Amino acid sequence: MTILLSIVVGLALFFMIGFAARAVLQAFAPAHHKPTFRDMPLTASFGLAVILLYIFVAVFAPLIAPYGESEVLGAQFLPWASPHYLGTDKLGRDMLTRLIYGARNTVGIAFATTALAFFVGSFLGIWAALVGGWLDQWLSRFVDALMAIPALIFSLLLLTIFGTSVLTLILVIAAVDATRVYRLARSVAQGIVVMDYIEAARLRGEGIWRLIRREILPNVMAPLVAEFGLRFCFVFLSISALSFLGLGIKPPTADWGSMVRENATLITFGDITPLLPAGAIALLTVAVNFVVDWQLHRASGLKE
């Protein structure tokens, strides 16, 4: 019965947020973008609203959160009641506060990792496509070898060797993900480096860096941006999984993955508190996927 009720409430919220976000976006969008937002599906407007909400919470975390990030406030595992609206955790820290700070830490780290993976992966990919020859061969075969090992297993191996800290976590996940970005960037750029205007730019005497930045990058942006959304989901999920396994972001930093692990015992007593951080992760990935789906659909030019 409660499950049915929560499904109904969830669907109602979804439609309300979706419709409201679409109306607001349409009202405030500049004139030439209005049709884009008018035709967007409900899933996409819901996704956009959720992403904006997460960004807002992450940026203004210290202003919204009622307490300090790792402040111990009272007894452990307090129930949901004022002044701790979502109870307290294993050490007596306010759950709501840590959820809010988690938006900043978990999402921030995942975003930095994805950005790093994209910077390295797309630069190397375009470079390999542009230069070709032995450089392309060597880089591509090297990336193939790395991609033959499952991503999670390879990151675990690297974390064993370099130790577990936030910096190594970011570098390791970015390195593993950069191989996937490299593949995409290289294959997209290969179609572009054979164009006449690249030849012309080369004859003008443009250097590699300028060729990549000014001639190729603007033309490979569209697929890379869509891929960025999907990659962010992967990175976000794998960082949460590693934190959940105790190998990622370390306490006392508030992080959704490790919060699930710390409070998991509550589940056996029928308390849903540990599901909140897990749900926060799930909601953001769903939202990003909805928006990416919409963008891909738009880019492919298909009509229903």
Partner 1 sequence: MNEIWRMIGQRLLLGVLTLFIISVVIFGATELLPGDLARELLGQSATEETLAALREQLGLNDPAPLRYWNWLAGVLQGDFGMSMATQKPISELVGARLGNTLFLALYAAALAVPFALLLGVLAALWRNSIFDRASNALALTAISFPEFFVAYTLILWLAQSGLFPSMVRITGSTTTGDLLYMAFLPALTLTLVVTAHMMRMTRAAIINLLASPYIEMARLKGMSPIRVVLRHAVPNALAPIINVVALNLAYLITGVVVVEVVFVYPGLGQLMIDAVSNRDIAVVQAIALIFASAYVLLNLLADVLSTITNPRLMHRK
Query: Residues in the site for partner 1, rule: CB under 8 A?
Result: 3, 43, 145-146, 148-150, 152-154, 156-164, 233, 237, 240-241, 244-247, 257, 260, 264, 267-268, 270, 272, 274-275, 278-279, 281-282, 285-286, 288-290, 293
Of 229, 237, 239, 224, nearest to 47 by C-alpha is 229
Find the shortest distance in angstroms from Cβ 256 to partner 1. 9
Find the shortest distance in angstroms from Cβ 231 to partner 1. 13
Of 26, 51, 28, 50, nearest to 36 by C-alpha is 26
Q: Which is nearer to partner 1, 44 or 212 (CB)?
A: 44
Cα 157 from Cα 143, distance rounded (Å) = 17
Q: Which is nearer to partner 1, 212 or 281 (CB)?
A: 281
Q: Which is nearer to partner 1, 184 or 189 (CB)?
A: 184
270: left (phi over 0), alpha (psi -120 to 50) or beta: left
Find the shortest distance in angstroms from Cβ 294 to partner 1. 11
Q: Which is nearer to partner 1, 78 or 247 (CB)?
A: 247
Q: Which is nearer to partner 1, 202 or 250 (CB)?
A: 250
Neighbours of 180 (CB within 10 A): 19
Find the shortest distance in angstroms from Cβ 36 to partner 1. 21
All residues at 6 or more sequence positions from 277 whose CB lies less than 8 Å from its CB, including other chains:
99, 102, 256, 257, 259, 260
Find the shortest distance in angstroms from Cβ 223 to partner 1. 19
Matching residue, tokens 């992450």:
58
**Surface-to-core class of residue 216, CB atoms within 10 Å of its CB (0-12 exposed, 13-18 middle, 19+ buried):** buried
